[in-house]
Structures are given as structure tokens and as C-alpha cells.
């Protein structure tokens, strides 16, 4: 009988420990934020690239098909963070973007180049979003 009571005691301790573990994890301060306080996810370089979430693949043929009928959005992305050109989904699209006059004109109106495009998101039949970042080369 003592083995059974001992096993029940261990089970109760184990269940109590696991039940309180998530609560303790939520209270701990984030080590990437100074003093555990962040103004938003864009203020921390480690989390900045996560703001876009999952980016669907955009094909060069889709980018080549952009014409004057499209709405083109240009959004500066993570201006205070250091990003790598290989991040995002635009690494294989920059040459195609540079060959599209509509996209080059819109980017230059905003002061950017095709080499500044970090990510591309096709939104519906007639809208494209270009996320740009000054890589500092």
C-alpha cells in the first residue's frame, strides 16, 4: 500500500508542476527588450522580420504581368533593424522587378530601387505590395 501512496504523491506533484509551468513562462520578462518593455514588435530587431508572417511564393511571371492597372503598395519594412537580403521572398524576384517599368517607377517615386525590395505579396487580382528595406550597402 505504501508504494501506491508514494506513486500517487509523485503524480500529484508532477501534475501541479506542469500545470503552473505555462503561467510562470508568461510572467518572465522578454530578454530581447530593454527592461522587459517593448514599444512594439518593430522595435526589436529579433522580431521585426516576423511581422509579415508566412509569405506565399510569388512567381517571376506574376511580377512580369504587373501593368498600369495594378495598385502597387510600397511599405518600408523594419527601418531600424538589420535584415539580410536573403530573408523575405524577394531574393529571386529583384531582377524581374528591375525589368518591370511600372514597379521601377513606383519604387523610384518613393526613393527606392528594386534592390531594396525585401518581400513581395500579391493581394488579389490587381494589387501587389512591395516591402522595402534599406540594406545599407
pLDDT of residue 99: 97
DSSP 52: G
Write out the chain in H/E/C secondary structure.
Answer: CHHHHHHHHHHHHHHHHHHHHHHHHHHCCCCCCHHHCCCCHHHCHHHHHHHHCCCCCCCHHHHHCCCCCCEEEEEECCCCCCCCCCCCCCCCCHHHHHCCHHHHHHHHHCCCCHHHEEEEEECCCCEEEEEECCCCC
pLDDT of residue 15: 52
Each of the 137 residues of the chain gets a pLDDT tens digit; together they read 576 666 666 666 555 544 433 333 333 333 333 333 333 444 444 566 566 667 889 999 999 999 999 999 999 887 777 777 777 888 999 999 999 999 999 999 999 999 999 899 999 889 999 999 887 66
C-alpha cell of residue 119: 518581400
Task: Tell me the whole-structure pTM to 2 decimals.
Answer: 0.62
pLDDT of residue 110: 94
pLDDT of residue 30: 34
d(CA 120, CA 13): 51
Amino acid at each position: 500500500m505504501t508504494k501506491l501512496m508514494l506513486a500517487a504523491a509523485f503524480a500529484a506533484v508532477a501534475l501541479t508542476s506542469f500545470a503552473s509551468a505555462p503561467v510562470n513562462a508568461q510572467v518572465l520578462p522578454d530578454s530581447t527588450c530593454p527592461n522587459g518593455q517593448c514599444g512594439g514588435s518593430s522595435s526589436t530587431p529579433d522580431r521585426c522580420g516576423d511581422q509579415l508572417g508566412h509569405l506565399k511564393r510569388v512567381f517571376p511571371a506574376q511580377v512580369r504581368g504587373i501593368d498600369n492597372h495594378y495598385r502597387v503598395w510600397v511599405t518600408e519594412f523594419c527601418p531600424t533593424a538589420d535584415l539580410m537580403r536573403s530573408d523575405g521572398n524577394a531574393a529571386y524576384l529583384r531582377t524581374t522587378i528591375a525589368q518591370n517599368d511600372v514597379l521601377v517607377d513606383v519604387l523610384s517615386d518613393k526613393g527606392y530601387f528594386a534592390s531594396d525590395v525585401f518581400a513581395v505579396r500579391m493581394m488579389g487580382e490587381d494589387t501587389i505590395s512591395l516591402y522595402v528595406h534599406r540594406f545599407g550597402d
